[in-house]
Amino acid sequence: MRVTVCGASGLLGNALMREWAGDEVTGLRSKDADIRDARQVAKAVLDSRPDWIVLAAAYTDVDGCEKHPALAFDINVQGAVNVADAAKRSGVRLLFLSSDYVFDGSNGSPYETTDPRKPLNVYGRTKAEAEERLLEIIPNCCIVRTSWLFGRGGKCFPDTILDLARTRTEIDVVNDQRGSPTYNTDLARAIIGLCRDGATGIVHVTNAGHCTWYDFAKTIIDDEGLKTSVRPTTGENFARPAARPKYSVLSPRSLHQHHITMPSWQDALGRYLSQRKSQALPLAR
């Protein structure tokens, strides 16, 4: 199987390029093919001749999207449409990375793939619109929604917490937003499995379990044996341009239909922190 990964230099793209073995994989960065340019995308698809395209390229800075909505829609919607158009012309299967932020957080139980999209912010709206457009262009495409991504290869929450713990004795972390932290390595492995299984439709892929950002931060600090105190606070105390859903836990039912299960987020975090130590990355002490 030949696979082309769009967004190969991002947090997920890095993991896909590391984890994908046994197939012919081409990684495209923005300098190789800017997805906003339909001609560049078409040429890249013709050159790589993939069976599958995994579209992980996106503008993922949630607050940045709120400040620059035109850019967000240009990349996250029109860019995705350009890739889908090229895939359709070449008869290529498409897997698109989406987000828990297509939901408004009003649910009290995990979101199913059939729940209506009700995004709160620009980033969520771009992902929701991209989903709808891609399903119109390629009805049998696969849309993978995930959440709270962390891991090696880019900026992520555990690194931020450990950096703060290096210089602070106390850290305030939001305790009224709940979701599922997801390790990029585990997400990449699930995506590989979905492509090999010929998956179609919307699939929710996160590590098992859920927590608040406060719970996540406290577990990071405790696992590292640090003395920094983590204090719970509310989202209202952090003035940020983009609203966040209070609850964005995704149901694993759609993933289990492909006989794929994900480890718990606690297990995933432990593996990431161990990897971080083994690579001699700086940790707060």
* CB within 8 Å of 240: residues ≥ 6 apart: 63
28: β partners: 6
Q: Which residue has the tokens 């891609």?
A: 134
Instruction: Give the distance, in angstroms, between the CA of residue 23 and the centroid of all CA atoms in the same chain.
Output: 23
The pLDDT of residue 284: 38
**167 is written with which tokens?**
């210089």
pLDDT digits (tens, 9 = 90+) for 55-70: 999 999 999 999 999 9
Give 285's pLDDT tier (boundaries 50, 70, 90).
Answer: very low
Compute the distance between CA of residue 233 and CA of residue 243 in angstroms, rounded to an integer: 16
pTM: 0.94
pLDDT digits (tens, 9 = 90+) for 152-175: 988 899 999 999 998 899 999 999
**Pick from 27, 32, 56: nearest CA to 43:** 32
Q: Would residue 59 show up in a list of annotated catalytic residues for this protein? A: no
pLDDT digits (tens, 9 = 90+) for 174-200: 999 999 999 999 999 999 999 999 999
pLDDT digits (tens, 9 = 90+) for 86-113: 999 999 999 999 999 999 999 989 999 9
**Domains detected in the chain:** 2-155+181-209+248-265 (3.40.50.720)
- State how far the alpha carbon of 149 is from the alpha carbons of 60, 127, 154, 204, in Å: 11, 16, 10, 13
The pLDDT of residue 280: 57
Catalytic residue among 101, 123, 183, 272: 123
pLDDT digits (tens, 9 = 90+) for 220-246: 999 999 999 999 999 888 888 999 999
- Give me the DSSP letters along the chain: -EEEEETTTSHHHHHHHHH--SSEEEEE-TTT--TT-HHHHHHHHHHH--SEEEE------HHHHHH-HHHHHIIIIIHHHHHHHHHHHHT-EEEEEEEGGGS-S--SSPBPTTSPP--SSHHHHHHHHHHHHHHHH-TT-EEEEE-SEE-TTS--HHHHHHHHHHH-SEEEEE-S-EE--EEHHHHHHHHHHHHHTT--EEEE---BS-EEHHHHHHHHHHHTT---EEEEE-GGGS--SS---SB--B-SHHHHTTT----BHHHHHHHHHHHHHHTT-----
**7 is written with which tokens?**
């967004």
Mean pLDDT of the chain: 94
